[in-house]
Amino acid sequence: MTAPFDPQLGAGPSAAPQPLIQVEDLKMYFPITSGVLINRHVGDVHAVDGVSLAINKGETVGLVGESGCGKSTVGRTLLRLYRPTAGRIIFDGQDITLAEGSTLRAVRRRMQMIFQDPYSSLNPRMTAAGIISEPLEIHGVGVGRERRERVRALLATVGMDPDYGDRYPHEFSGGQRQRIGVARALALHPDLIVADEPISALDVSIQAQVINLLERLQGEFGLTYLFIAHDLSVVRHISDRIAVMYLGKIVEMAGSRDLYERPLHPYSIALLSAVPIPDPKVEGRRRRIILTGDVPSPSNPPSGCRFHTRCWLRERLSNPEPCVAEEPALREMATGHWVACHFAEEVDGTAEQVQVTGRRGGVAGKGLAAAGAGATGAADAGRIQPVLIDGVS
């Protein structure tokens, strides 16, 4: 690591990426208290526990992981809706980690959020025009006619009839409501938009429309996106790079294509096994990797690798010691492809990896025999267990 943020930029030195926002070792803990009269601090929810990430200007980074792994908290902390417990946040070259008052307000204008649920995120008692113009009012942008014209233009920008401004949220469909949420987010000409599961609550038929809208707006306004999703099915096409999170940490980060073609973390592979592949021949042979055990509590995360209580590879390798004893650091396995697993080398070429990527072939026994010669010497050919998933051999 030559500079604090280099590892996650990913594009290589020649591309000279310009980060719009960078976080370094970001931590966001929420206190747990107990007691009736006096609240005693008895612990913390480690919602985000050491995340480093940079999003370049005009780029879309997808942030993916199961519910509760800390995605929304990363998004909210990035926008400084929370004051981080530790770490640094740099926005367009300015350290905003502890910014307050007018400095924070000025920065907040340039960063907006789109929420998951367009039903609950819009005030039911306000008209669409009122909702969209609220940020303009808060920041004192324009007055009267000028503001009304701006709202009409914003409605048109998100593909809605400008005359719909006097309607109330309940008069719109889910997709239209999300468009109103997008128009509101655009009102102040932001640079960065955190889209927190923006299509999860929408019908599948509408999802593509909203994705297309976000892509078009990105091109038109040069927007930078953090696009949050709970699975890997929706982020593939919209993301330039994808970060996979597990229990408050990034476990894998790579260019979008790289992640789908060569996932290297056992957790990413499990997530990918749930994503359908369009080729019915390939799809018919696939089996989902079911992760055993519950998601551990973020207030008391497992020792060593946080994923060790549910990891199929660890089991395969006969439970090597480092999984429990040492926290795996993010390592660059290929240019711009970062993985936090002690045994990521063993993942490459396994039947599981081959199957989730829809590739043919694969290296028989790869990762299993090799582990015998690896750091732990924990597995040997005699202990190879049958592959988890049928159909690829």
In order, the DSSP letters of 174-206 are: HHHHHHHHHHHHHTT--SEEEEESTTTTS-HHH
Cβ distance to ligand ADP smaller for residue 135 or 298: 298
Backbone angles phi, psi at 20, to 5 degrees: -85, -40
Is position 121 an interface residue for Mg ion (rule: CB under 5 A)? no
Q: What is the DSSP string of 29-52?
A: EEEEEE-SSS-EEEEEEEEEEEEE
Minimum CB separation from ligand SF4 for residue 328, in Å? 5
Residues numbered 103-122 forming contacts with ligand SF4, rule: CB under 6 A: none
15 within 8 A of 54, measured Cβ to Cβ: no
Say how many residues touch ligand ADP, by CB under 6 A: 12
186 binds ligand SF4 (CB under 6 A): no
73 binds, among ligand SF4, ligand ADP, Mg ion, none (CB under 5 to 8 A by kind): ligand ADP
Q: Does 2 bind ligand ADP (CB under 6 A)?
A: no
72 binds Mg ion (CB under 5 A): yes
Q: Three-class SS of residue 80?
A: coil
Q: Quick one: 227 or 343, whose CB is closer to ligand SF4?
A: 343
DSSP 8-state secondary structure symbol assigned to residue 296: P
Q: Quick one: what does residue 7 bind among ligand SF4, ligand ADP, Mg ion, none, with the CB cut-off 5 to 8 Å set by partner type?
A: none
Q: Please give the Cα distance from 239 to 62 (Å, whole number).
A: 5
Q: Give the integer Cα–Cα distance in Å for 235 and 79.
A: 21
Angle formed at CA 129 by CA 124 and CA 132, multiple of 5 degrees: 85
Stretch that binds ligand ADP, among 66-74, 96-104, 107-115, 135-143 (CB under 6 A): 66-74
> Which listed range, 182-190, 202-210, 293-301, 307-315, lies at the site for ligand SF4 (CB under 6 A)?
307-315
Q: Could you tell me the CA-to-CA distances from 274 to 174, 296, 374 in Å, in that order?
A: 26, 20, 30
**Rounded Cα distance, 248 and 50, in Å:** 7
Minimum CB distance to ligand ADP smaller for 65 or for 198: 65
Q: Which string of x and - marks every residue 72-91 that binds ligand ADP (by CB under 6 A)?
A: xx------------------
Site for ligand SF4 in 228-287 (CB under 6 A): 266
Question: Residue-wise over 67-91: b if at least 16 C-beta within 10 A, else e?
Answer: ebbbbbbbbbbbbbeeebbebbbbb
Among the listed residues 5, 30, 119, 164, the single contact to ligand ADP using CB under 6 A: 30
Is 205 a binder of ligand ADP (CB under 6 A)? no
Contact positions toward ligand SF4, by CB under 6 A?
A: 266, 305, 307-308, 311, 313-314, 323, 328, 341-343
Contact positions toward Mg ion, by CB under 5 A?
A: 72
Contact positions toward ligand ADP, by CB under 6 A?
A: 30, 45, 47, 65, 67-73, 298
